[in-house]
A = this chain, B = another copy of it.
């Protein structure tokens, strides 16, 4: 890859400020506070959510919202800090993309059903706006370390737009059930990101990169992300569920799916390593696959037993994917998936969609039919792959400040990075190396 300029001093601020100013203008035109007289057509995933629970206390959902908020900003942000010299970008650009994405997502998710020509703000809409950013953060994981902040802002704009189209079609029009969004967020975000990664394929990274690995403490920072995602996933899958028993089901199903998944992920991680050692990559990611996979049928009557079977299956598939499938995708298909989102969100997301079809076949939730569920899964994959490919082509244009191959996975291209003490004490080692690269 040719060495483009990575100086984004004008491109990035101009793009960020234009996006923000356009957003503010649209908010001035369309967005008002909820006056309590909303006509109950919430724009989220679950069209059945039309109780008057929220009229009594407009902030009743706020603790659920904050759990989801923590997953988006701490969970996703720190999960990606595992790379040894890419933590600033992981948690910092995660914040940037989600901060823009939630503003954009709230607009596009609700433009389909205005109320007196306005979008009326509610906690539920804020939850859904946070959800919409999750798609981008998943895709971010696939291209982590190989893209500039400018490219990523563009991806955010285009991916959330595509997501809102697909969500409106699959949930709003077709009426599919996807309370925890296995299909519309996880599978969608993963395959969108993989399509972008395919288009941005870098042959120069075929043999890996010095910085594409962790150090001891970066793996511990990543565990902060993992554990928060693991703990709060029941909130993700139940936040917009129908209050009462369906919401309780969504919580308990996710709780037990994750617990069972953790056991499976630990067992498989030890089993596939020839010395029986646990691998941090598996623990950081595959323990979460149970939350993804139980998403679609979280509010269905699948029984705690059923949730645990889904969790174990997801944990096994995800760990095996990291060990055996990811290397093949990279070497044979040119899909360099930095964080392995295919194993955490892609396959478990499809598994979740299939579990939803099966649950519909078994009549585990009223008004849910297998055909509609299958159509929603297909739609999510289709929008993801086509949208991701087009987005990738736009991101591939040579003037977005993307890094050269040798500068990938290195914060110092886009961030002022302190020279660490221990490195400073040594002679010409990594610190100088990084610095030299940064000057490029």
Contact = CB atoms under 8 A, between A and B. Distances in A.
Given A33-B245, A260-B20, A416-B280, A228 B62 contact: no
- Tallying the copies of this chain within the complex gives 3
B33 A304 contact: yes
- Using C-beta atoms within 8 Å of the partner chain, give the interface range for chain A: 35 or more
Contacts of A17: 263-264, 267
A407 B318 CA distance: 31
Nearest to A99: B262
A259 B74 CA distance: 15
Contacts of A260: 20, 23-24, 103
Contacts of A70: 231
A278 interface: yes
Given A24-B305, A223-B92, A305-B24, A259 B87 contact: no
Nearest to A85: B216
Contact of A304 (B27, B123, B264, B426): B27
A204 interface: no
Contacts of A422: 420, 422-423, 426, 430
A165 interface: no
A307 to B, nearest CB: 9
Interface stretch (A250-258, A352-360, A388-396): A250-258
A407 B222 CA distance: 25
Nearest to A247: B59
A398 interface: no
Nearest to A215: B420
A421 interface: yes
Contacts of A34: 245, 248
A87 B123 contact: no
Contacts of A103: 256, 259-260, 308
Contacts of A215: 418, 420-421
Interface string A248-286: 110110011011101110111011011111111001000
Contact of A425 (B100, B121, B429): B429
Given A213-B418, A247-B59, A416-B277, A33 B263 contact: no
3 pairs of A and B residues whose beta carbons are closest in the complex: A9-B276, A99-B262, A28-B305
17 contacts: A8-B270, A12-B270, A16-B264, A24-B308, A31-B304, A33-B248, A59-B247, A62-B251, A66-B232, A73-B230, A74-B231, A77-B227, A99-B262, A123-B251, A277-B414, A421-B430, A422-B422
Interface of A: 7-10, 12-14, 16-17, 19-20, 23-24, 27-28, 31-36, 57-59, 62-64, 66-67, 69-70, 73-74, 77-78, 81, 84-85, 87-88, 91-92, 95-96, 99-100, 102-103, 121-123, 126, 149, 213-217, 219-221, 223-224, 227-228, 230-232, 235, 238, 243-245, 247-249, 251-252, 255-256, 258-260, 262-264, 266-268, 270-271, 273-280, 283, 287, 301, 303-305, 308-309, 312, 413-418, 420-423, 425-426, 429-430
Given A24-B308, A57-B243, A421-B423, 19 more contacts: A13-B268, A20-B308, A31-B304, A33-B245, A33-B303, A58-B248, A62-B63, A73-B230, A88-B280, A95-B230, A95-B287, A103-B259, A149-B266, A215-B418, A216-B418, A217-B217, A277-B416, A280-B415, A280-B418
